[in-house]
Amino acid sequence: MECLMEKDLALFAVDYASKLGADYVDARLENHYNELIIVANGKVQRGVINRKRGIGIRTLVNGAWGFQSTTDLTKKGIRQAAKIAFKVAKASSKHVQTPVKLAKAKAYKTSYKTKVKIDLENVVFEEKLEQIITWEKSLHTSKRIVRGLAEYTGIKIDKVFASSEGANIRFSNSLAWASLKADSKKGGLTQFYERTVGHSGGYEIFQKNDMEKVASEVGHKAESLLNAKAAKMEKDATVILDNDYAALLALLVHEIIGHPSEADRVLGREAAWAGTTWWAGKIGEKIGSDNLTAYDDPTVPGTLGYYLYDDEGVKAGRKVLIEKGVLK
């Protein structure tokens, strides 16, 4: 999807906004391809393919930000968006109380892509639809499964990032995942079980995993929970980390450690939308056990959050969040 013309458009946006007088400019051009298939109880709820393209232009003028996006990828459209971004920044600079000062960062020029064996667009959509229908059918392991849900998502994103500091980064990403869920019922008792299979890569993930077998396991798990006994409350308990419990642990780490680490929450900029963070201002303090060390690393190949450079052109890497119980 990405081509030289699109790369030139990002550079054109940066050059034009710089000539308007902006102190700093960056432009991010994105090209998206999305697929979504949802099947519930044998019926196709959704089967969608869509494409979208656009560019976002960010300007810094006298310590204030301005931003404008557009889907008009002609030079005329980009010039218009750049002018608006510049005007917004210039107007905002008259009222800014704390001028923005950019940290020094290396400007990278590189191109990289997610490793893909089977391109999402090389598998006929109708074939995918039939496969997802089959996966959903496999969820129904007995009459106790009252609802099955199979949802497939495929995304391809091509990005071009350019800045007035000389950055020029091209990234072609591909994501594919499927969620399988079974609801079970016995008398007045209901239970459910769900599993997700996915990665950053192509459609090969569904050949690597026997999805009909996975779906059947999900159905049986949902059934077995109908006969499960509630665990006794204990002051001290032994935790067994098999595959299922490890997934629960990952969810807890994601919610309790991952989200509170987001800068927008720490700075209070997301309070009305998603909340704040419980450890703001606690860097260097002991907040957990000596056995607790947590980090995030988007550079791990195959993970759904994979990238080597973020949307501001900063090189990604492993970041320690908590080390031996101390917030870093």
Q: What are the residue boundaries of the structural domains of the chain, listed by start?
A: 234-327
The pLDDT of 219-242, averaged and rounded, is 82
Q: Residues 64, 92: contact at Cβ < 8 Å?
A: yes
Q: What is the CA radius of gyration of the chain?
A: 24
Tokens of residue 117, six digits: 């064996």
Q: Residues 274, 318: contact at Cβ < 8 Å?
A: no
> Above 50 in pLDDT, residue 165?
yes
Res. 277 pLDDT band, cuts 50 70 90: confident
The pLDDT of 268-288, averaged and rounded, is 81
10 Å CB burial of residue 237 (0-12, 13-18, 19+) is exposed
Q: How many CA atoms lie within 13 A of 316 on its CB side?
A: 16
Tens-digit pLDDT profile for residues 17-30: 999 999 999 999 99
> Above 90 in pLDDT, residue 132?
yes
Output the average pLDDT for the chain.
92
Give the residue, 239 or 198, on which the prediction is more confident: 198
Smallest Cα–Cα separation from 135: which of 39, 19, 225, 57?
A: 39
Res. 1 pLDDT band, cuts 50 70 90: very low
Res. 245 pLDDT band, cuts 50 70 90: low
> Above 80 in pLDDT, residue 242?
no
> Above 90 in pLDDT, residue 137?
yes
The pLDDT of 159-163, averaged and rounded, is 97
Report the 10 Å Cβ neighbour count for 173.
17
